[in-house]
Amino acid sequence: MLRPASTRRGARLLVLVLACAFLVLPGAPASAAPADLCAEPLAALLGVDAKIKAHNAKPHLFTLPRQQGAYAAYNAEAAKLNAELAKAKARINACIEAMKTLEDTAAGSPELTRPRPADLKAIGDATKQVPAGWQPPAPPAPGKHWRVPPSSAVRPLYRVLRDLSPPDFRNVSLRGQPRPPIGARDPAYPASSGHTIGGPNTNGLSAVSPDHIIPLAEIIHMPGFLRLSPQNMYQVVNARVNLQWLSYKSNLSKSSRSVAGMSGVDPQWQASQLQLESAVRKQLRDTIGQLLRSQG
């Protein structure tokens, strides 16, 4: 507000200013994913929160023009913190949305879990073995599939991730489908084949296993994958949205490749699987991009 003050030499205007960029941190981010799955961007957001609180605790009433410098410095800091806050919010939101996609929340899939510290270290150590500037090979020709040969620079990382994925699920739903029971028709094969779900296995359950819709060999070559943190690599290769139940027989026939290379399977099932592959491939690529943005 304006407060005129007078002296014998004349009048002056003294302006008491409440700094216009006084900051208030918004509510905590939505708990769409466990906090430990987005721990790094969450820590960054909380770090900005601490700086905002310190900023807001400073005196923010200034007399102009006498305190013009302090006023400008206060608002410059506020503008800087506003920019940091926007970036931190974008990072945590990108992580949460990515984890929701990977977890396949809408389908009621099992929750994502944080890997053990030893597993994170193994992933990190293997990633460091990939030479700087390494470029993945060209995509395989039609009818061929992605491979990670022993000579590949990403082979050590592939082996580590292969040992950590997929998880050992029991009676859970994957992509909205419960574990097929013993004796049920195997949908991968024509009804006329008579193929059914076998079992019991060593755990007394039906002879099915969680299968990667998009093979790990393709995922590891996706753009940006090698720039993910070990934590995010682990979540991508164990994405619930990329897992489905397959019988032991059909899983062995698929053998870490596209269903396009399978023979003797039900043609309608094969066609629907190819459509599923296309959709999930896009989801994984988009999610890798989100995770990279969440890493800052």
pLDDT confidence bin for 256, thresholds 50/70/90 = confident
| The two three-digit tokens of residue 134, written as one number | 């390494």
- Average confidence (pLDDT) over 78-105: 94
- Average confidence (pLDDT) over 34-38: 77
| The two three-digit tokens of residue 258, written as one number | 């596209």
Q: What is the pTM of this model?
A: 0.87
Q: Residue 246 forms beta bridges with which residues?
A: 209
Q: Residue 2 forms beta bridges with which residues?
A: 15
| Residues above pLDDT 90, as percent of the chain | 82
d(Cα 261, Cα 183) in Å, to the nearest integer?
26
- Average confidence (pLDDT) over 168-197: 97
Domain boundaries, the chain: 2-103, 115-294
Q: How far is CA 293 from each of CA 4, 94, 171, 251, rounded to the nearest angstrom?
A: 51, 7, 35, 34
CB atoms within 10 A of CB 74: 21
Beta strands in 213-251 (DSSP E): 243-247
DSSP H or E run through 12: strand 10-18
Query: With b meaning 16 or more CB within 10 Å and e meaning fewer, what string describes 238-255?
Result: bbbbbbbbbbbbbbebbe
Residue type, 217: A
The contacts of residue 219 (CB under 8 Å, 6+ apart) are 212, 225, 236, 237, 242, 284
- Average confidence (pLDDT) over 158-180: 97
Q: What is the mean pLDDT of the chain?
A: 88
- Collapsing DSSP to helix, strand or coil, 149 comes out as coil
Q: What share of the chain is helix, strand, coil (3-state, %, to 5)?
A: 50, 10, 40
C-alpha dihedral, 215 to 216 to 217 to 221, nearest 10°: 110
d(Cα 22, Cα 247) in Å, to the nearest integer?
60
- Average confidence (pLDDT) over 172-184: 97
- Collapsing DSSP to helix, strand or coil, 16 comes out as strand
Q: State yes or no: pLDDT of 229 exceeds 60.
A: yes
Given this model, what pLDDT does residue 170 score? 94
Q: State yes or no: pLDDT of 32 exceeds 90.
A: no
Given this model, what pLDDT does residue 36 score? 81
Given this model, what pLDDT does residue 15 score? 36
